Structure 1
Amino acid sequence: MSFEITPGAPEPLGLRLVAGGANVAVYSETAEQIDLCLFDATGARELSRVKLPGRAGPVFHGFVPGLKAGALYGLRAHGPCAPERGLYFDPRKLLLDPFALELNQTPRSHPSLFPSPDDSGPHAPKAKACAPEPAPARRARIPWRDTVIYEMHVRGFTKRLGGVPESLRGTFAGLAQPEAIAHLKRLGVTTLELLPCAAWLDERHLVDLGLPNYWGYSPIALLAPDPRLAPGGWTEVRETVAALQTAGLEVLIDVVLNHSGEGDGHGPMVSLRGLDNPAYYRLSPENPAGYINDAGCGNILQADHPAVVRLAMDALRAWAIYGGVDGFRFDLMTTLGRRADGFDPHAPLLTAIAQDPALRELKIISEPWDLGPGGYQLGAFPAPWGEWNDKFRDTVRKFWRGDSSMIGELATRLAGSADLFAGKKPPSRSVNFVTAHDGFTLADLVSYARKHNEANGEQNRDGTDASFSWNNGVEGATKDEAILAARRRDQRALLATLIFSRGTPMLSMGAEFGHSQNGNNNAYAQDNEVSWLDWDKADPRLLAFVTRALALRRTTPAFTDETFLTGADQGDSPPDVEWFGERDPMRAPDHWRGGERLFLGAVFTLGESRAALLLNAGRAPVACALPPRAGKSWRRALDTQSEDGAPRAERGVIAARSAVVFIEENQGE
């Protein structure tokens, strides 16, 4: 097969279908020649190869007349192979168009993708020419103060969900099914945060172990939905997002722009490394053959380079325009603000995201850390953006574990983490969580004192050892009903603390009904029953509890206000917050001292809305009298001693290991 090619245009980057054919434009400052290669429908046989004839600075370009949607293609780059200069050109390696909008099939690792004399063409992933339609404008635009996030894996959520057709389970289309939407709506969450959905490649060590990368934090095509999750490509993503938005739900995508699936210098060459390694990656100044590894995955993208800024921005716009998503959660976002001399909150990519017309009004959430020097930047990101608050996670875990000297910091976290965000952004931008995909599930947090990651094939070396977990007397599975009841009680207490704290609560998938991963706190390689929700084992009592708690939060403005608490006297009105311990109001510094304190109460007031959250992590009940007001009375609205949260009868007594919510009402109501 042969075809004509003319110089074409240097914009837009990537292969884009236009009237009469396709324009191809590829960025590389260091290549000497870029070839376009077309493949047959199987992707195994190369039909033709032609040099891109045009060049405008670092952009090679050409126009292919008659090229139609569905054509499979790849790129080959010519230039020096000089690792000591950071150059890895090798025309034997077929490369993905970084701006590809669709892949022909699930990317698979193969020995020919790695450094070797073999041609990778028959085995490398191929891009498919396509022209996605823009998504309809159906964004729910839920205010931050009303937002409740549900972090989920597209595949794991529906893989075992009854009522979803077998062919759709584990896909975007499955997520749009009535059974999936009904659960989310009944639960009361507002916003879905989907683990990475861009096409990724399994790491070589996982392939050798016979394991997959389940989470997807190893991207190779940022603008293309992964075929495992969206076999219908952008059409499937667009229609699913629209269905969720029609149901009143927001959809955020977890994006990985800090590193790629090409790993270190011994990793596969599938795209960026073979096109322009020094432009796309941050290389070691002392040894350009090596990579800076602030993400812990072998490389990081050079996020202050124009090529990376352009790629990242086009990827985000693709998900916003073609997918119609409501926003993004950025993995290891500190890396995106990293320059050669450290983190810069005004770095080019962060600034570009904040001002871009297609992105600036969307919900943006940062994971505000990476592994590099000065990598912990919680509270340093732009004011409109939310930030994952791991200090909330650790403080709440330690308090309920029974650690000493926690009530001062716990009060700070319950009140919205003013130490981190006051003067910068409202409390709602603190994305509070107790568990997430990375770590123990909620059920395992109270059932395992240590990790059990043997199934990952790394001799239990992977995953954090700082989980601040406990097992209630027995490590792991047990039939002892007293221990099982204690674990369910602790889950409810943790959930209540999360839901009724100032800030935006985030639930991890399955936390609402007791999902367990058998003690695996790093299940990134478990695309199986370990990670998939088992709906048949869902605890309906816990589900009822979470539903009750979220409904109560939704109707109590005192829990969701957008201002930081001061505790200052407000004349005839109560202070916006009143703290108290086991016996007395906590008004003086001495009241906060005492390492054994395991009780903390707070009364929040916002206008006519007044509510109390009482937390007793101790082993004995506490009698507590709430501050009275003339013509008002306190109603016990939620009690974690009950399996479903229904209030207990006893007045003023907070049972051991429990959380209770009171709502102030007019007397006689």
Structure 2
Amino acid sequence: MKVWPGQPYPLGATWDGAGVNFALFSENATGVELCLFDSPNARAESHRVALTERTDLVWHAYLPEARPGQLYGYRVQGPYEPQEGHRFNPHKLLIDPYAKAVAGDVRWDDAVFGYRIGDPAADLSFDERDSAPFVPKCVVVDPAFSWGGDTRPRTPWHKTIIYELHVKGFTKLYPEVPEEMRGTYAGLAHPSVVDYLRSLGVTAVELMPVHQFVSDKYLHERGLTNYWGYNSIGFFAPHAAYSSGGVMGQQVAEFKTMVKTLHREGIEVILDVVYNHTGEGSQLGPTLAFRGIDNAAFYRLVAGQPRYYMDYTGCGNTLNMNHPRTLQLIMDSLRYWVLEMHVDGFRFDLASALARELHEVDRLGAFFDIIHQDPVLSQVKLIAEPWDLGEGGYQVGNFPLLWAEWNGIYRDNVRSFWRGDAGQIDDLAFRLTGSSDLYERGGRRPYASVNFVTAHDGFTLADLTSYNEKHNEANQEENHDGHDHNISWNCSVEGPTDDPEVLNLRARQQRNFLATLLLSQGVPMLVAGDETGRTQAGNNNAWCQDNEISWVDWNLDERKRELLEFTRRLIQLFHTHPVLRRRKFFQGRQIRGAESKDISWFRPDGQEMSETDWRNEQARSLAVRLAGDAIDEVDERGNRVTDDTLLLLLNAHHRAVSFVLPAHRQGITWEQLLDTRESFGRRKTRRTVRGGGSYRLEARSLALFRLEAGGETGAHAEEQASAQVEEQRDESEPPDTQAARREAGVLRAAPEAEGTQTIYCEHAGAIVPLDEGFCRACSRQVSEGDGIHRPPTPEMLKRLGYATTDVPEGEAQGEDQGEAPATEERPEEE
């Protein structure tokens, strides 16, 4: 076999069309051998090639006869002196940290450990067994791929809705995905799955770890697996088990195809990345890659006791961000996933660990400095999980510009409020408005806050309303694992129940959480399955459950379908109303001649909140008005952004509360858009309440209103004439719709803006607006004969109840105060 000197850069195995260059960094090694294999299960290498060239601490060679698909690994010589921080062992086959693909899994034989298992000296002993039969092999990859003009969606932060999902768990039970594609990158790119994501209305998927990862030995012995994947061993390689097409480099092309498909539908791809530790664990862990290549360079070791690892992650080790080559590894990995794999951003697991310089978390550390000056990485979405397990690791609100953060304080405050805890309204007000107390002082914007109520770690939304205690027995740790501080409420019954009152309350609480999330300023993040009531049977730490506990169940009963449609409705409101997704924090004053302050807070009696009211520990209800004519922003073309004025009512009391709706001037009317006491959040007839009138909000409920015509002119306000039965002919409405409406004697169906056309949507079961040819309810493009949409008919309009009606006796909101004349019901207009 021909061996040429090769080049020290780029690191890894690089196919240039004629041969392959191999380059491996090791500062403290005394020798490196490249091992070539004929198959992933080969017990021994077919060739060993000594890398005799060493440049800038990089060992390298060029093999002109090597081709894509070649399997390889390394053996590295050097001192085995754990007490000095060195753990070289040439008997162990090592994974290339820069491998673009990995084939095979770790087989948990004692040979994969650098020391003798059971020896009294533990990790100070030295094991001479060959690990090659038991460890994965690296794959040389041809990067060529036809992107076909792939364009990044580049969704602005303030228009982003994140959807966290697990590649396997999301499609493993998806009925429309072929069996062989379920649980894979191809499954996630299946047309039915992409169609679901579009119809839901999310703009980005945040994929739980897809870097090549390993499952721990003790999990294997218990019949469990590392399902979540926060145990990386290869930072460039897409996890091979998620590939339907093969593991000899096909996983790379399949991942790229998935990204390309999602981009074509306007959906961004964000990766959850784990650069804080590796899958090699503590000093008693296996020798698979970094430990055997250069332990002292790649890991943070205890000062004065380098046998041991600094562990800020709870996983046994922490990568050494203070070493330039480790920092380079991470930056090269990030750039590779952006430039070569076309991803749109990253969520950094335990990001505080990346910022630690010595022992302190330094938010202006080298890691951030390098990213901020990088012309590629500074232009993608960067999200921090702003904590780790070390002292001072909780850093919510302290990350620098360009970064968004998982806002754990938002999660806790919102959960506490809807549980009915005392003294929550002050904190809740900050969370609803973008958490200015956390982000404004650093010059950041509301979209620095990634708002979430649930995440992969913890209870699902359904379990949050069904369990007071965790139930993690399936994890085989006697229920000791997982958080105990869940801030959950089971609605009086622990776990499953047939009690209709409990089930209805749980469903309403789920709607409250979803509505709060989608109506708050900031970037909302949903967890896959929450919109359909997915449960993990009370398991709040399902990291090792690769089974029905974790997989999304797509067998939807009526209650689950109702929650799904409610979620779609909320997401539609988010996209429709810019006042819900402001780029700037509220100022609490009139702006640009607006009629009212950009934000106003009210007690249920209609009076503005005072300082004393904010300190009322017993208050569990409040209202907030968002002025649509006081946004003080311009759009991409420099036009002033205006919207409807919205009013949000929240009641976490165990009893109903009557709210007096604000009347900043005579003759205004509020139109109800949403009420979480309804399974879909709305009725077929619309309610309106005059300013100064009363609205009875049920216990533990939320309602949203829009200021009607005669109020501020917003993006979706209409003329008063459109509320009359005898409206004028609108040339923008299709003739067949006009004729059907006139024949049925009803109001125009679902107008939201001038020029709006309407269609009947089978999914929504309602007449909804068209938005540039797309259905506003299901987000699908409307075409003749698509089986989902059709023009309204007179019979359809009558059947759906689109007719002027009087308020039924006793139905008027405010009946407890004799306010019936202040409330009206009329046909719903989307």
- Which range, TM-score by smaller chain? over 0.9
TM-score, with structure 1 as normaliser: 0.97
Name 1:129's counterpart in structure 2: 140
Alignment of 1:618-629 (within 5 A): 618-628=653-663, 629=665
Q: Distance in 2 between matches of 1:108 and 1:434?
A: 38
Aligned to 1:605: 627
Q: Which moved more, 1:608-617 or 1:163-172?
A: 608-617
Q: What SS class does the counterpart of residue 97 from structure 2 fall into?
A: coil
Q: Partner residue of 2:607?
A: 585
Which 5+ residue runs of structure 1 have no aligned equivalent? none
Partner of 2:427: 409
Where 2:363 maps in the other structure, the secondary structure is coil
Which of residues 527, 538, 543 in structure 2 aligns to 1:519? 538
The reply on whether 1:666 has 2:709 as its aligned counterpart is yes
Where do 1:34-49 residues align within 5 Å? 34-44=32-42, 45-49=44-48
What is the Cα deviation at residue 576 of structure 1? Answer: 1.0
SS at match of 1:634: strand
Verify: 1:596 aligned to 2:594, yes or no.
no
The structural deviation recorded for 1:522 is 0.5
Deviates more, 1:608-617 or 1:583-592: 583-592
Q: Is the 8 A contact 2:606 2:661 kept in 1?
A: no
Return the letter of the residue paired with 1:666: A
Q: Say which SS state the counterpart of residue 422 (structure 1) adopts.
A: helix
Cα distance in 2 between the residues matched to 1:133 and 1:429 = 36
Q: Which moved more, 1:610-619 or 1:511-520?
A: 610-619
2:165, 2:207 within 8 Å by CA — same for their partners in 1?
yes
For 2:108 and 2:622, the matched residues in 1 are separated by 53
- Describe the shift of the 1:24–1:546 C-alpha distance in structure 2 as closer, same or farther (beyond 3 A): same
Contact 2:300 2:318 survives alignment (8 Å): yes
Contact 2:105 2:135 in 1 (8 A): no
1:440–1:521 Cα contact (<8 Å) kept = yes
Counterpart for residue 580 of structure 2: 559
Partner of 1:450: 469
Cα distance in 1 for residues equivalent to 2:499 and 2:304: 59
The CA distance in 2 between the partners of 1:626 and 1:167, in whole Å, is 56
Please give the alpha-carbon distance, in whole angstroms, between the structure 2 residues aligned to 1:218 and 1:551. 37
Deviating more after overlay: 431-440 vs 228-237: 228-237
Equivalents in 1 of 2:646, 2:676: separation in Å?
A: 16
1:91 corresponding residue in structure 2: 90
| 1:168 CA drift (Å) | 0.5
Code of the aligned partner of 2:188:
L
8 Å contact kept, 1:416–1:427:
yes
1:338 matched to 2:374 = no
CA contact 2:534–2:553 (8 Å) conserved in 1: yes
Task: Tell me the residue number matched to 1:574.
Answer: 596
Aligned match of 1:26: 24
* 8 A Cα contact 1:234 1:322, kept in partner: no
Aligned residues: 667
* Residue identity in the other structure for 1:421: Y
- C-alpha contact 1:631 1:666 (8 A) present in aligned 2: no
For residues 572 and 352 of structure 1, the distance between their equivalents in structure 2, rounded to whole angstroms, comes to: 43
Specify the code of the residue in structure 2 equivalent to 1:477. Answer: P
* Bigger mean CA offset, 456-465 vs 608-617: 608-617
CA contact (8 A) 2:40 2:137 kept: no
- Give me the whole-angstrom Cα distance separating, in 2, the residues matched to 1:124 and 1:572: 67
Tell me, yes or no, if structure 1 residue 161 matches structure 2 residue 174. Answer: yes
Q: What per-residue deviation string (whole Å, max 9, x for no partner) do you get for residues 619-643 of structure 1?
A: 1111112222445421100110011
In structure 1, the residue corresponding to 2:660 is in which secondary structure?
Answer: coil
Which of 107, 115, 119 aligns to 2:130? It is 119
The aligned counterpart of 2:519 is 500
Counterpart Cα distance in 2 of 1:57 and 1:499? 52
Q: Which moved more, 1:372-381 or 1:288-297?
A: 372-381
Which residues of 2 match residues 27-106 of structure 1 at below 5 A?
Answer: 27-44=25-42, 45-106=44-105
Kindly indicate whether the alpha-carbon contact (under 8 Å) linking 2:352 and 2:386 is maintained by their aligned counterparts in 1: yes
Shift of the 42–305 alpha-carbon distance from structure 1 to 2, 3 Å rule, reads closer
- The residue type equivalent to 1:620 in the other structure is R
Q: Which amino acid in the other structure matches residue 379 of structure 1? A: G
Paired AA for residue 444 in structure 2: K
Deviations 1:574-617 (A, max 9, x none): 11111112324343211112222111211111314311111101
Match of 1:481 among 500, 508, 517: 500
Deviates more, 1:312-321 or 1:402-411: 312-321
How far is 1:368 from its partner?
A: 0.9
User: Relative to 1, partners in 2 of residues 1:572 and 1:505: Cα closer, same or farther, differing over 3 Å?
Assistant: closer
State whether structure 2 residue 490 is matched by structure 1 residue 471: yes
> Post-superposition shift, 1:133?
2.8
Matched, 1:235 2:271: no
d(CA) in 1 for partners of 2:707 and 2:516? 19
User: Does structure 1 retain, via aligned residues, the 8 Å contact 2:150–2:263?
Assistant: no
Please name the residue that 1:148 is paired with.
Answer: 161
Distance (Å, rounded) in 1 between the aligned partners of 2:105 and 2:598: 54
**Partners of 1:557 and 1:591 in 2: CA distance:** 29
> Do the aligned residues in 2 keep the contact of 1:304 with 1:337 (CA within 8 Å)?
no
Q: Aligned partners of 1:341 and 1:480: how far apart in 2?
A: 52
Q: TM-score, normalised by structure 2?
A: 0.79
CA contact (8 A) 1:106 1:227 kept: no
Conserved 8 A contact 1:109-1:202: no
Partner residue of 1:438? 457
Letter in 1 for 2:587: T
Cα distance between partner residues in 1 of 2:499 and 2:696: 27
Q: In 2, are the aligned partners of 1:113 and 1:120 still within 8 Å (CA)?
A: yes
Counterpart for residue 210 of structure 2? 197
Of 543, 552, 557 in structure 1, the residue corresponding to residue 564 of structure 2 is 543
Measured in 2, the distance between the counterparts of 1:303 and 1:551 equals: 42
1:15 is matched with which residue?
13
Residues 19, 228 of structure 1: alpha-carbon distance in 2 compared, 3 angstrom cutoff? closer
Residue correspondence of structure 1 range 155-304 to structure 2 within 5 A: 155-230=168-243, 231=246, 232-304=250-322
Residue aligned with 2:74, SS: strand
**Alignment partner of 1:491 is 2:534:** no
Alpha-carbon deviations, 1:151-192, whole Å to 9, x = none? Answer: 000111100011101110000100111111111111111111
Aligned-partner residue type, residue 663 of structure 1: R
Distance in 2 of aligned mates of 1:28 and 1:309: 14
> How far has the Cα of 1:408 moved from its partner?
0.4
CA contact (8 A) 2:671 2:687 kept: no
1:139 aligns with 2:169: no
Task: Find out whether 1:392 has 2:427 as its counterpart.
Answer: no
* 1:108–1:201 CA contact under 8 A, matched in 2: no
Asked if 1:633 corresponds to 2:669, the answer is yes
SS of equivalent residue, structure 1 residue 494: helix
Greater mean alpha carbon deviation, residues 522-531 or residues 135-144: 135-144
Q: Secondary structure at the match of 2:173?
A: coil
Indicate conservation of the 8 Å contact 1:558/1:604, yes or no.
yes
Q: CA deviation at 1:195?
A: 0.3
> By how many angstroms is 1:649 displaced?
4.7
Matched ranges for 1:345-424 at <5 A: 345-423=363-441, 424=443
Question: Bigger radius of gyration, 1 or 2?
Answer: 2
SS of the residue 2:135 aligns to: coil
CA deviations over 1:413-452 (Å, ceiling 9, x no partner) = 1111001000321101200000000000000000000100
Determine helix, strand or coil for the equivalent of 1:228: helix
> Kindly, what percent of the aligned residue pairs are identical?
44
Any idea what SS the aligned residue of 2:301 has? coil
- Preserved CA contact (<8 Å) 2:671 2:688: no
Give the Cα separation in 2 of the matches to 1:167 and 1:273.
36
Q: Is the partner of 1:536 in helix, strand or coil?
A: coil
Q: Work out which structure has the larger RCO, using CA pairs closer than 8 Å and 6 or more positions apart in sequence.
A: 1
Root-mean-square deviation (CA, aligned residues, Å) is 1.5
Greater mean alpha carbon deviation, residues 107-116 or residues 501-510: 107-116
Provide the rounded CA distance (Å) in 1 between the counterparts of 2:607 and 2:353. 44
For residues 388 and 602 of structure 2, the distance between their equivalents in structure 1, rounded to whole angstroms, comes to 37
